[in-house]
Amino acid sequence: MATEKEIVVSGIRPTGYLHLGNYFGAIRNYIRMQEEFDCYFFVADWHSLTTHPNPKDLQANVMRVLAENIASGLDPEKVTLYAQSHVPEIAELYLLMNMLAYKGELEKVPTFKDKVRLQPENVNAGLLTYPVLMSVDILIQRAVKVPVGKDQGQHLEMARNFAQRFNNRYGELFPEPVAFNYGDNLVRILSLDGKGGKMSKSENEMSTIYLSDDDEKIRQKLKKAKTDSGSGIPGEPMPESVANLVEIMKLVSAPDTVQFYVDAFNAGTIRYGDMKTQLGEDMVKFIAPIREKAKDLQENRAYLHKIMKEGAEKARANAAQTLQQARNLIGLNYFE
């Protein structure tokens, strides 16, 4: 007898360009998850509205994110891919959950405080209730596992809190989702500028490798990557900037290539120019197929629309069941 797979939900904002950190930190795990779980992956277009994107940019960004995820290995036959705004049931449950969210707790969320500091002229209600909408994205599909990074841990804890509050007040409906990642497969790729921060969509463009970068741009960025040569004494500790390049090399280069440069560093004979040239060529071989496939997909709007429509139909069917149960438990079922 077949058993139902556990539900996994994750979303990505259609802002900026997907980069190497997104791929190895998230998408690669999604590809593995699609074989083991019932996965709902969505483009968080409603979330992006807190920063008031240009409508034309929003549409293009949504299509690009969808195309890059498919080009990276997500199979529309195995996962449910959809735009958040194509599932209106989310908006109604968001309204209902806002009744269980309190101003004080929302104002204490670190990401909200950061946004207030960075954009004091645009502290809109959507920013304040962002964690509620994020929670509903998860709860409406009744997900039990959510692949999140450390910086989103508090948002997931809030989703658990909202599930508990609803269940305690109205009756059992929502499972309490837990953070999930393959513990042996966690990758954090640092910026190429050597400052210690992770690769980011919004930081220095030359310090981030994007999945859309052309071959020459990839080579150029890696040639300019920070390398602290240290003292050159054999056996000295590897500087963080060099260690980062080695970690990136492990992801895209042959094992013997990686070992060659590690041995050269330990012997004090490493030539960083050669190392970065080699890494540039290996990175080009890795990125180019993803970039070209994503480009082809973006030009095939009919196909992307089909994927989004089919994904929305499945996501809505599941969400509608959850929402109807929530209405019944609250008492919003006057004709039954």
Domain boundaries, the chain: 7-187+301-330, 205-294
Ligand-binding site membership of 61 (annotated): no
Q: Which of 78, 198, 293, 295 is catalytic?
A: 198
Q: What is the CATH number of domain 205-294?
A: 1.10.240.10
Q: Which of 78, 201, 217, 314 is catalytic?
A: 201
Q: Which of 5, 78, 115, 223 is catalytic?
A: 115
Ligand-binding site membership of 73 (annotated): no
Ligand-binding site membership of 189 (annotated): yes
Active site residue 198: yes
What would you report as the CA-atom Rg of the chain, rounded to the nearest whole angstrom?
Answer: 22
Ligand-binding site membership of 72 (annotated): no
Q: What is the model's pLDDT at position 2?
A: 45
pLDDT 10s per residue in the chain (336 long)?
445 899 999 998 888 789 998 898 889 889 999 999 999 999 999 999 998 889 999 999 999 999 999 999 999 999 999 999 999 999 999 999 999 999 999 999 888 888 888 888 999 999 999 999 999 999 999 999 998 765 566 778 999 999 999 999 999 999 999 988 776 556 778 889 877 677 876 567 888 999 999 999 999 999 999 887 666 677 778 888 899 999 999 999 999 999 999 999 988 888 999 999 999 999 999 999 999 999 999 999 999 999 999 999 999 999 999 999 999 999 999 997
Ligand-binding site membership of 15 (annotated): yes
Quick count: other Cβ atoms within 10 Å of Cβ 52? Answer: 11
To the nearest 5 percent, what fractions of the chain are helix, strand and coil? 60, 5, 30
Distance of CA 180 to the CA centre of its chain: 13
59-90 exposure pattern, b = at least 16 Cβ within 10 A, e = fewer: eebbbbbbbbbbbbebebeebbbbbbbbbebb
Active site residue 221: no
Fold of 7-187+301-330: Rossmann fold (3.40.50)
Quick count: other Cβ atoms within 10 Å of Cβ 169? Answer: 11
This prediction has a pTM of 0.89
